[in-house]
Amino acid sequence: MAKFTNYMQRYWALYAMLLLPMAFFIIFRYWPMINMQIAFRQNNIILSIWEVPWATNPDGTTNIFANFQRMFAHPPFADAFRNTVMFSILDIAAGFPAPIILALLLNELKFRRFKRITQTVSYMPHFLSWIIISGLAIQLFAPDQGTVNVALYNEFGLGPIPFLNQNNPWIATVVGLGVWRSVGWNTIIYLAAITNVNPELYEAADMDGASRLRKMWHVTLPGIRPVIIILFILALGGVMAADFDRFLALRNPLVASVALVLPLYIFEWGITNWQFAMATAAGMVQNVINLGLVLGANFVVKRLGGDGLW
Amino acid sequence: MVRTVRKSRLKRATIGDWVIVVIMIGLILICILPVLSVVATSLSDPAAIMRRTVALLPRTEVQHVVDNVIVDREFPIGASLDAYRDILTDARFMRALGWTAILTFITTIAQLTMTVLCAYPLTYDHLKGRKIITFIIIFTMYFSAGLIPMYVLLDTIGLINNVMVLILPGLISVFLMIIMRKFFMGIPESLKESAEIDGAGPLMVLIKIYLPLSTPALATLGLMYAVGRWNGFTDALMFMPAAEMAHYRPIQLLLFHILQGMQGVDTTLDAGAAAAPGRTESVRAAAIVVAMLPILCVYPFLQRYFVAGVTLGAVKG
């Protein structure tokens, strides 16, 4: 006991410092978790959530999963679910390898100053908001006055290409803009990992007469494998977490059917249409799947003998 | 000396090197050209935009008038600042710009303070309860309650349609807190120990030793937080819907409304649009340029800091 008092006398300040941050996490991160019970109660935006009766079937019998059943039967939810998964798969397919390839190329770049300039410029899109990027996209890809379509027409008599106003071209544009925004920034981690690769391995490969491409493939890439795996687990954890800003900014009425992703669904049905119970259920499904994917991927990686997140 | 070194490096460059250089030039162009195109539009005459003459260079309109009749029009390269004049004299736009700057400053200071307060105690290995506290914090990285439970919470504590909703719910980013903690951990323990022997408490050690040595990390985190606030708008969109809160909407939300063509009818932004077809295009472009300019001016100077910061966070643990 004396020991404890002594300890607290010396280090009470540390706990005092943690007071505000912990209050922040408890209020803004854990309190909402208690509010998740909304998903199991009747939709009611007036009563305090503890007073709202449990959700019921149409015949009036209590069924706490009624909101989930209603949601799964709600066609827009199915659309949003499908679109979210589709965009995530496309984003990972296009956006995950891109920075790895770019980092390998940057690493091979001999001219120091040029390399630094390239890096600085490639980080730039990361600092633009999706609103600004949507402005750029309209500027470039609008059917009549978009720079790309104007150039195609003036130079080649082609176009206009419906980058923004037909489903499939729009999907490609959105995925492309995602890669554009993140590719440079995401090289930072890989480049740092590359500098940690043991130089002796390159020397040994040189002795064996390995070409540059072979060294990239057999030395650099295996050297950064742990980082690649960790980032892949994190990417999997985001599969259900479509970026709200991105889809809100880039969507337009012509592509409404493919632009509806889960965060937009939750916003529109929850906040705009006051369907709190169903939107909370949708958010829960989304977040539980995400958590499951991270845990699952981490488990598999560890089973395979790799280093997981924990 | 420098010259000869560069020459020899050029000479030793193989075809492979040049292929990479060409790819990188392509990358640079892909990053820069969209921005250039918007700048060109913002500086162009509306008529030149309508005639689809603007690509990467701004163009103006020259009318050849004979007897008060326009007989010919040309669109030579040239700049007009009309769109910027419209934007920079628009009271609503300028107020949003100023407010967002103030908001970003206040928010960033608050976020840095909270992040340091959270990260620093966790650097003490012997801190009792450190494991459980860390778990409580890290768990929120992987699981969140979702939008509606958050909305209900904000409603309960009176933050809906309250300016503080733009500051409080994002005070600590767990990811950036981990970076901060890792940076603190890199400061030699001996400094802390010698200060403690001199009788300094934890707070003293933080202020006198850790903070002065942490400028790179603080600059990185400050930039990340500031960019997040400057570029953020969804909180204002969702949690401050009341018309009387319109004064407190950040610039990005105003820009969103402008781009969506939802602006009110009483501003010069629209008066400009009414004056000449194509005017909206140049005014929109100017609004985009003004909204992205502050960040684009700052980030290159902080590059060496944030590269260090991001890589610090990349190493797991």
Distance between CA B266 and CA B249 in Å, rounded? 18
Q: Which residues 229-268 of A have a C-beta within 8 angstroms of B? A: 230, 237, 244-245, 248-249, 263, 266-267
What size, in residues, is chain A? 310
Check residue B71 and give its pLDDT.
75
Distance between CA B142 and CA A288 in Å, rounded? 10
What is the per-residue pLDDT across A262-296, written as a single tens digit (0 to 9) for each? 999 999 999 888 888 999 999 999 999 988 988 88
What is the per-residue pLDDT across A55-96, written as a single tens digit (0 to 9) for each? 888 888 888 898 999 899 999 999 999 999 999 999 999 999
Does residue B317 register a pLDDT over 50? no
Tell if the CB–CB gap between B149 and A18 is shorter than 8 Å.
no
Check residue B8 and give its pLDDT.
58
Does residue B277 register a pLDDT over 60? no
User: How would you classify residue B146: left for phi > 0, otherwise alpha for psi between -120 and 50, otherwise beta?
Assistant: left
Residue A243 lies in a domain: yes
Does residue B2 register a pLDDT over 70? no
Does residue B296 register a pLDDT over 80? yes
Instruction: Please state the rounded mean pLDDT for residues A33-61.
Output: 86
Check residue A309 and give its pLDDT.
65
Residue of A nearest to B123 (CA): A14
Collapsing DSSP to helix, strand or coil, B73 comes out as: strand
Does residue B126 register a pLDDT over 80? yes
For B146, the closest of A10, A34, A266 (CB atoms) is A266
Check residue A76 and give its pLDDT.
92
Residue A38 lies in a domain: no
Tell if the CB–CB gap between B9 and A21 is shorter than 8 Å.
no
Q: Where are the beta strands (DSSP E) in A72-192?
A: none
Instruction: Calculate helix-pair angle for B174-185, B279-314, nearest 10 degrees.
Output: 40
Does residue A239 register a pLDDT over 90? no
Categorize the per-residue pLDDT at B6 as very low, low, confident or very high, splitting at 50, 70 and 90. Answer: low
Does residue B201 register a pLDDT over 90? no
Predicted TM-score (pTM) of this structure? 0.88
Check residue A279 and give its pLDDT.
93
Tell if the CB–CB gap between A180 and B30 is shorter than 8 Å.
yes
Q: How far is A305 from chain B (nearest CA, A)?
A: 17
Residue A193 lies in a domain: yes
What is the per-residue pLDDT across A175-194, written as a single tens digit (0 to 9) for each? 999 999 999 999 988 988 88
Architecture of domain B82-314: Orthogonal Bundle (1.10)
Check residue B272 and give its pLDDT.
46
Categorize the per-residue pLDDT at A258 as very low, low, confident or very high, splitting at 50, 70 and 90. Answer: very high
If one compares A207 and A123, the residue with the highest pLDDT of the two is: A123
What is the per-residue pLDDT across B148-175, written as a single tens digit (0 to 9) for each? 999 999 999 999 999 999 999 999 999 8
Residue A49 lies in a domain: no
Domain ranges for chain B, please list them: 2-74, 82-314
Does residue B101 register a pLDDT over 50? yes
For B120, the closest of A17, A189, A284 (CB atoms) is A17
How crowded is residue B211: how many other Cβ atoms within 10 Å of its Cβ?
A: 15
**Chain B interface mutation, best of A84, A131, A215, highest count of B Cβ atoms under 10 Å:** A131
Distance between CA A36 and CA A308 in Å, rounded? 29
Looking at the DSSP bridge assignments, the partners of residue A41 are A54
Does residue B281 register a pLDDT over 50? yes
**Global ipTM:** 0.89
If one compares A264 and B309, the residue with the highest pLDDT of the two is: A264
A27 Cβ neighbours under 8 A, 6+ residues apart: B153, B157
Check residue B274 and give its pLDDT.
46
Q: Which residues 64-83 of A have a C-beta within 8 angstroms of B? A: none
Check residue B266 and give its pLDDT.
37
Share of residues in chain B with pLDDT > 90 (%): 40
Nearest to B209 by CA among B123, B309, B125: B123
Instruction: Return the number of CB contacts < 8 Å for A and B.
Output: 256
Categorize the per-residue pLDDT at B140 as very low, low, confident or very high, splitting at 50, 70 and 90. Answer: very high
Q: With contacts defined as CB-CB under 8 Å, which chain B residues touch A29?
A: 140, 144-145
For A24, the closest of B147, B172, B256 (CB atoms) is B172
Residue B65 — φ and ψ, nearest 5°?
A: -110, 130
Residue A39 lies in a domain: no
Residue indicated by tokens 């965060």? A263
Tell if the CB–CB gap between A109 and B232 is shorter than 8 Å.
no
Average pLDDT, chain A: 88
Share of residues in chain B with pLDDT > 70 (%): 87
Domain count, chain A: 1
Distance between CA B28 and CA B17 in Å, rounded? 17
Instruction: Calculate helix-pair angle for A75-95, A97-108, nearest 10 degrees.
Output: 20
Q: How far is B197 from chain A (nearest CA, A)?
A: 12
- Do A266 and A272 meet the contact criterion of CB atoms below 8 Å apart? no
Instruction: Please state the rounded mean pLDDT for residues A132-146.
Output: 87
Check residue B265 and give its pLDDT.
35
What is the domain-level CATH number for residue A198? Answer: 1.10.3720.10
Tell if the CB–CB gap between B310 and A121 is shorter than 8 Å.
no
Check residue A189 and give its pLDDT.
87
Check residue B301 and give its pLDDT.
84
If one compares A268 and A304, the residue with the highest pLDDT of the two is: A268
For B38, the closest of A129, A135, A270 (CB atoms) is A135
Average pLDDT, chain B: 84
Check residue B273 and give its pLDDT.
46
